[in-house]
Amino acid sequence: MSKTDPGRFFEDFQVGRVLTHATPRTVTAGDQALYTALTGSRFALQSSDVFAQALGYRQAPLDDLLVFHVVFGKTVPDISLNAVANLGYAACRFGAPVYPGDTLSTVSEVIGVKENANRKTGVVHVRSTGRNQEGAVVLDYVRWVMVAKRDPAAPAPDPVVPELPEGVDGGALALPEAVDFAGYDLAAGGARHRWGDYAVGERIDHVDGMTLEEAEHQLATRLYQNTAKVHFNQHLARDGRFGRRLVYGGHVISLARALSFNGLANAVRIAAINGGRHVGPCFAGDTLYAWSEVLEAAALPGRDDLGALRLRTVAAKDRPCADFPRKDAEGRYDPAVLLDLDYWVLLPR
């Protein structure tokens, strides 16, 4: 009997199965520094202990998306080692802030399976929950991934496609406790714009571009202990659809978020991800640009120091976003679009 793990294929998933993922991860200031080096993120709350402590945080919390990637990375060996593509996210809520020294672990439940028409692959839905060493939830989300079948002739399970909410209600966001943003330092934050300075329907071209290098995306994905073959194994990828390694879609999200600093510098925390699509593949050598639209503004119950904005951020490759590329009149995505992400952020009022 082999002692190595080939990963799960589509026919190995059953709705209701709970997977406790291996390798709890103690996160450190070094992880945050490397994340900053790989993404260029500049948000002050995650960059400065002094800035964070002035608001009531114990120290600078880790970047929310770094937390997402670490929690996500725990799931890959059990869920998406044999993935063809990660397709999307929904109902993602960030919880307790994560500090250097916290230990994160993840548990997932399979909530949907559906074979594709080609019988070579199927789509698996999972709900994953990340907790810290004290059991507090730091992240809870649903994702769906296309997974290869071990045997195309194998019978498929009865299809189960979960009903997912269109978004996280603004009134249901988990808000940071024992902190006060009333004294938020706009100069240190990097912009003068507060929550009330943004209007629903406003679009922001984030202007800057960032070219993604081969070594960067592989180092980032290793940082998250994400072992999906499509990101690392060129020997295998050369015979695939694209003939080369795919960039982990979560890294595209991180780069889009980093680019959004120019125009949304004081959107210091991600509170929830309502939904998202990896519209197209990304490869080393692509230059990413991004733009955002304000979809909704929510005053938060009992908080006069914070407000929430619901944003759509769209990332495009090799195309500046001054004309806000997304979909055409027939609803088809522009060929340059890589990512369409709908999420909530918190800003000082």
- In three state form, how does the secondary structure of 110-130 look? EEEEEECCCCCEEEEEEEEEE
Q: How far apart are CA 156 and CA 113, in angstroms?
A: 9
Beta bridge partners of 347: 307
Please name which of 219, 208, 203 lies closest in space to residue 288, comparing C-alpha atoms. Answer: 208
Architecture of domain 10-348: Roll (3.10)
**CA 259/CA 288 separation, integer angstroms:** 9
**Residue 94: DSSP 8-state:** E
Phi, psi values for residue 212, rounded to 5°: -95, 125
DSSP codes of every residue in 12-45: G--TT-EEE-S--EE--HHHHHHHHHHH----HH
Helix 29-39 and helix 249-259, axial crossing angle in degrees, nearest 10: 80
Closest alpha carbon to 224 in 18, 12, 21:
21
Distance (Å, whole) CA 9 – CA 12: 5
Would the pTM count as exceeding 0.85?
yes
Amino acid at 340: D
In tens digits, the chain (349 residues) has pLDDT values of 778 988 899 999 999 999 999 999 999 999 999 999 999 999 999 999 999 999 999 999 999 999 999 999 999 999 988 888 788 889 999 999 999 999 999 999 999 999 999 999 999 999 999 999 999 999 999 999 999 999 999 998 899 999 998 889 988 898 888 999 999 999 999 999 999 999 999 999 999 999 999 999 999 999 999 888 888 888 888 888 888 999 999 999 999 999 999 999 999 999 999 998 999 999 999 999 999 999 999 999 899 999 999 999 999 999 999 999 999 999 999 999 999 999 999 999 9
By CB atoms closer than 10 A (0-12, 13-18, 19+), residue 349 is middle
